[in-house]
Amino acid sequence: MNTRQKPTSILVVDDFAPMRKTVRDNLKAMGYKDIILAENGVEASKHLDTNAIDLVISDWNMPKMDGLELLRYIRSTPRLRATPVMLVTAEGDRTAVTKAIQEGVNQFLIKPFTQATLQEKINRMSAGAARGGAASRGPPSPLREGDHTPRITFRPEGASVLVVDDVATNIDVISGILKDSYRVKAATGGQKALQIAKTSPQPDLILLDVMMPEMDGFEVCRRLKQDAETAHIPVIFLTAKAEAADVTAGFEAGGVDYVIKPAEPAVLEARVATHIRLKQARDDMRHHVDTMVENARLREDVERITRHDLKNPVAAIITTADGLAQNPEQNHETRESLETIRDSGYEILGMINRSLDLYKMETGTYTVKDERVDVVDVVNRVVKESRGNARSEDKTVVFDTTDRCFARGEETLCLSLVRNLLKNAVEAAPAGTEIRVEVAMKAEVMIRIHNQGVIPPAIRETFFDKYATAGKPGGTGLGTYSARLMAQVQGGEIDFVSDKTSGTTLHVTLPAHPGGRASAS
C-alpha cells in the first residue's frame, strides 16, 4: 500500500451474492471500511485497473474468470504484481493448490470459515508496524486523526528461521537482517541443526551453509529430507560456493533455493518470505485435506443421524398435518393450509433423500432400483408443476405425447432429473415463447426439452459440471450436474445443442424397459 493517508482497500470477489455480503460484513466488523465487491474475475480485473487495491479476497470457482485466472492476471500485470491475493475455496485438490502456489497466491481461506479465521489469515499477511517482506507494498500508512481503519503491510507473520553456519559472525549478520521480521534460531554445526529442526516448535525455514566441518550442508539437507519429522521444512542454501555444480548439488539434496554469499539483504528477505509463505499455504492445505479425510470417516454416522434424527420430526409433521386435514370439522381454508404443510413436509423429505443419494452417486455407491418407469406419466407430472411458474413469466410449456414409453430405472430419479432440466428451460426461455417437451421410443427412451434461449458460450463446455452457472441470480450450478448424474447412474446420458438460430435442446436418453411401449389407455 502506498504511504499516502488512505484507508486500506479490499476487493472481495465471489459469484455468490450471500458469500460476498458475508465476507464484506466480516471485514467491516474487523474495522475495514473501503471494501469493493465483484461477482467474477472479469469484473474484478476492471476494478483493479481503475482502483488502488491493497488486498484481493477471491473465490476460486466462478464463471467468466475464476480465481486462479484472476491470480494469473494480477501476477502478469506489472502494476498489480505485488498485490496480495487470498483464494477462498471449498475444495482440497492438491494439484489445483500447487498451481495456485506456483502462480503466487499469498493465502488460502477454506470454506466454511469464521470471522476469527479470516482475521487470522489477514494477520498472517500483515506486518503491522514491522518491516514488510517480499510481498510488502511499502511501509504502513499513518492513520489520520479519527481514522481507525486497519492498515495492511503484507508478509508471513510469526514465522521462525533456523540459521546454520559454523562462523558466528555470519550468524550475527543474517540474524540482524531477519530479526525484525522472524524469530531467529541458530546452530553452528550440522548435528545441532538436526536436533533443533526436530524440536517443537519446529522452524518454518532453514538457512544452511554448505562448507562446515564434520558434516557439510548437503549432507545435513539430505538427512532432513530423509526424516519424516523434518522433510516438510524448506531449506535455502546460503553459501559462498557459487559453481554450477554446487548449485545443482544443493537442489539434488532437497534445497528449495540457493543464495550466494554475501547476500543482498533485500534479496535474502524476499527469498525467505516467498518460501515461508509457500510452506504456510501447504501446511494449511495439508490440514484441510486431513480434515476432509476425517470428515469422510464421519460421513456414515452423519448419514445415519440425518436419516433418523432429521427425517423422524419431518415425518411427524407430515403425519400430524395429514391427520388434521382429514378431520371433517376443518373448514376449507384450514384444510388447504394443512395440505400445504403436509406437501411441504414431503418436499423436505425428498430433499433430504436426494442430498444423501447425490453423494452416493458421486462416489459410485448408489444402487438403482430396477423399476418399470412410465416416462410419459413422469413428464406429465413435472409439466403440470411447471406451468404455473411459466404462465407468470408469459411462457408456455407444451407436452402432447400420447404414447406410453417405459424406461428401466427409478421413478424418483427420473422425476428429479426432468424437474431440474425443465426448471432450467423455463428460466432460460425468453418471455412470450414456448418450452416444448417430447418423449419418443426407439432403441432407448428419449426425452427432448427445447426452449428458445441460448446457453452462454462461456459455460457450454462446463454446462454439466458441478457449480457451473452464469447470469442466473441464486443459481447453484447443481441442477444440470445432478440431472446428468441421475441419468448416468440409470445407464443413460444427457447432452445438448444450442445456437442463436434454433435455441437450446436438451437430449436425455434412458435404457428402455423390455416391452417398453404401450398405447395410452
Distance CA 13, CA 62 (A): 9
* pLDDT tens, N- to C-terminus, the chain (521 residues): 433 333 478 999 988 777 788 888 888 888 888 899 998 889 999 999 988 888 999 988 887 788 889 999 999 988 888 888 988 876 555 566 767 777 888 888 877 677 787 888 887 776 432 333 333 333 333 333 344 444 444 445 568 999 999 898 899 999 999 888 899 999 999 999 999 999 988 999 999 999 998 899 999 999 999 998 999 899 999 888 888 888 899 999 999 999 888 888 888 888 898 888 888 777 776 666 555 555 555 555 555 565 556 777 888 888 898 889 888 888 888 888 888 888 788 777 776 766 677 777 877 888 888 889 999 999 988 888 888 778 888 999 999 776 788 999 988 889 889 988 998 899 889 999 999 999 998 889 999 999 999 988 877 887 777 655 555 544 445 678 888 889 999 999 999 999 988 999 999 999 998 865 544 33
Joined together, the cell numbers standing for residue 66 give 475464476
Collapse the DSSP code of 471 into the 3-class scheme (helix H, G, I; strand E, B; otherwise coil) and give the result: coil
- Order of strands across the sheet that contains 34-38: 34-38, 9-13, 55-59, 85-89, 107-110
Residue 74's nearest CA partner among 89, 65, 84 is 84
- Return the bridge partners of 59, or none: 88
**Cα Rg, the chain, nearest whole Å:** 30
Distance CA 20, CA 12 (A): 7
Joined together, the cell numbers standing for residue 336 give 388447504
Joined together, the cell numbers standing for residue 117 give 479465521
Please report, for residues 401, 483, 488, the alpha-carbon distance to residue 408 in angstroms, rounded to integers and kept in the order given. Answer: 19, 16, 12
